[in-house]
Amino acid sequence: MNNFYPERRFTATTSAAANDGSVRASFGGAGGKVRGYAAVFYKPGDPSTQFRLAPDIIERLAPGCFDEAVKGADVVALFNHDPSMLLGRTKSRTLRLSTDARGLRYEVDLPDTTTGRDVRALVKRGDLSGASFGFIVGLDEWTREAGMCVRTIVAVKVLYDVSPVTSPAYAGARVSGGSASEAAPAGFDEGDDDAVEAGAEAARSAARGRNINLHEKS
């Protein structure tokens, strides 16, 4: 049985995959609205739709992986994942989530609060241009491709929040340490299930050394 832990991903909205779905806003009414893509699905041949967790680890979101997680869920919109900076929630319909061929879309009605006014001003000035999401994986698959360990998230079990963030760069890119290949076993071949699992575990071990928040298996 898999034991999954909360994870977060940061979407750089200047990428080719998200530049037409970046943090945007309309400012009619008291607070206005902010909308964008909190996550983008993997598109073969487009490297901007996959995430580099470490030099030798790539993560991809399979189309449809959020379908079950958004059904009836009480998801919140936060600024920078801070629960004290609430922007909206699905339960009150001030946050609306949907999925399409590109990814997970969100639209939030900004509140007339200090946080809401700050976000409105930062988006209007162009200072705030990234998005992120907090989640727990329900099902993932590990494979080997072109010398890389590839994690594909097939289903998200829980979606906690979507957040406009000030730093859209992926968190794993900032940490340093040895590469995952240092721990990868010999004979790591495509199609070899035992080797793929062994390589995935080796990737997890290497990722832990970089403070990358992957799930663990028990």
If you average pLDDT over residues 51-76, what whole number do you get? 91
pTM: 0.70
Percentage of the chain modeled with pLDDT above 90? 35
As a whole number of angstroms, the distance between CA 154 and CA 160 comes to 17
Strands of the chain, DSSP E: 2-3, 7-12, 24-26, 33-40, 50-54, 57-61, 76-79, 82-89, 95-99, 103-109, 130-145, 148-165, 216-217
As a whole number of angstroms, the distance between CA 215 and CA 217 comes to 7
Give the pLDDT confidence score for residue 78 in this predicted structure: 94
Percentage of the chain modeled with pLDDT above 70? 63
Q: Where are the domains of the chain?
A: 2-174
If you average pLDDT over residues 177-184, what whole number do you get? 30
Q: Of 39, 61, 69, 40, whose CA–CA distance to 157 is shortest?
A: 69
- What is the distance of C-alpha 79 from the center of its chain? 15
As a whole number of angstroms, the distance between CA 61 and CA 38 comes to 12
Query: Of the given ranges (34-38, 98-102, 118-122, 201-205), which has the lowest mean pLDDT?
Result: 201-205
Give the pLDDT confidence score for residue 156 in this predicted structure: 94
Residue 19: pLDDT band (50, 70, 90) is: very low
Measure the CA angle with vertex 176, ends 57 and 8; round to 5°. Answer: 60
